[in-house]
Amino acid sequence: MFNTLDGYVRLVKTNIVQVNTHEESSIRINRVGDSLERYVKDGFCNILDKDLDDNKRQESYNEIFSYTGTQNQPPDLMIKAGDAIEVKKFKSLNPREIQLNSSPPRVKLSSEDPMLSERARNCENWIQKDVVYCLGSVINGIIKELWFVYGNCFVSSSNIYKELKNSVKETLESGSYNMSPTNELGRINNVDPLGYSSFRIRNMWLLKHPKRMFADYTNQTSSGFYLIVRNEKYDTFDQKTIEELKLTKEITTQDITVEDPDNPSETIECKILKYEF
């Protein structure tokens, strides 16, 4: 079964760092970050160096992905019977934070998540997927860094974020405001005397970029493709995938011990895969 590690190895072996910046055609509505999403999809499908029309390209996507995103709703990609991938594009070599907007940090993606589209819920028979953050620094159409980081390597369990949102909503609703039901933090109606204005309150999440958390394990003067995964997840990858990784000499694998995102007094065992150039 195809997995994120397969995709990472394919991207490294293809050895293409040019991102196609032309506008997307009928496959997707064009939006910020689409060019990186297409690069990842093409790389995972092993068609980065192929000139395909939209229909042939979509056929390749359908072999690996059950879902390839919709505007303004998570996730960006879902691997069949595999991970959910959030793609974020940066125009800086040293991004400090990931702009998650209204989506909270996630370790797992649930099929019952109210932020998902019906198409995402019904694209395959699934309940939960591990979340992988795919973070690319793209300068003048060239990928300088590309990170694939499993959420549970640096994000706390989702209840923490849900509890904060619920606490803020309860505080707002306990006031004397004229509130409307909403999936956002709140909507206050009739703010002015004539009732012409309303006030929308949205949650806007930021997350520290893992480059800053895992800086000790990378060459800060090189470009690179990285994958960070907990050991227990790594052990679930197909043996065929592991063997191909071992044969890919460009990639080095290092065992690391990092703070547990749920309990900083404890540690977790992870691996960082590195292709630096």
Where along the chain do its domains lie? 4-158+205-276
Rounded to an integer, the average pLDDT of 236-262 is 97
Neighbours of 158 (CB within 10 A): 18
Question: What is the rounded radius of gyration, in angstroms, for the C-alpha atoms of the chain?
Answer: 20
DSSP structure class, residue 128: E
Rounded to an integer, the average pLDDT of 237-245 is 97
**27 falls in which pLDDT band (50, 70, 90)?**
very low
Q: How far apart are the first and last CA of the chain?
A: 29
The residue among 111, 117, 35, 40 whose CA lies nearest residue 74 is 117
3-state secondary structure of 199: strand
- For 147-161, what is each residue's pLDDT tens digit? 999 999 999 987 899
- For 160-183, what is each residue's pLDDT tens digit? 998 999 999 999 999 999 999 887
User: Would you state the pLDDT for residue 182?
Assistant: 87
**72 falls in which pLDDT band (50, 70, 90)?**
confident
For residue 21, is pLDDT > 70?
Answer: no
The residue among 95, 101, 70, 74 whose CA lies nearest residue 86 is 74
- For 100-124, what is each residue's pLDDT tens digit? 999 999 999 999 998 999 999 999 9
- For 127-139, what is each residue's pLDDT tens digit? 999 999 999 999 9
Rounded to an integer, the average pLDDT of 247-258 is 98
Percent of the chain with pLDDT over 70: 95
For residue 22, is pLDDT > 60?
Answer: no
Partners of 242 in the β-ladder: none
What is the residue-averaged pLDDT of the chain? 93
Distance (Å) of CA 190 to CA 33, 197, 201: 37, 6, 14
Rounded to an integer, the average pLDDT of 218-232 is 96
What pTM was estimated for this model as a whole? Answer: 0.92
3-state secondary structure of 254: strand
Please state whether the peptide bond connecting residue 95 to the residue before it is cis, i.e. omega within 30 degrees of 0.
Answer: no
User: Would you state the pLDDT for residue 33?
Assistant: 56
| More confident call, 211 vs 24 | 211
Report the relative pairing of strands 128-139 and 84-90 from DSSP bridges: parallel
The residue among 175, 268, 270, 177 whose CA lies nearest residue 226 is 270
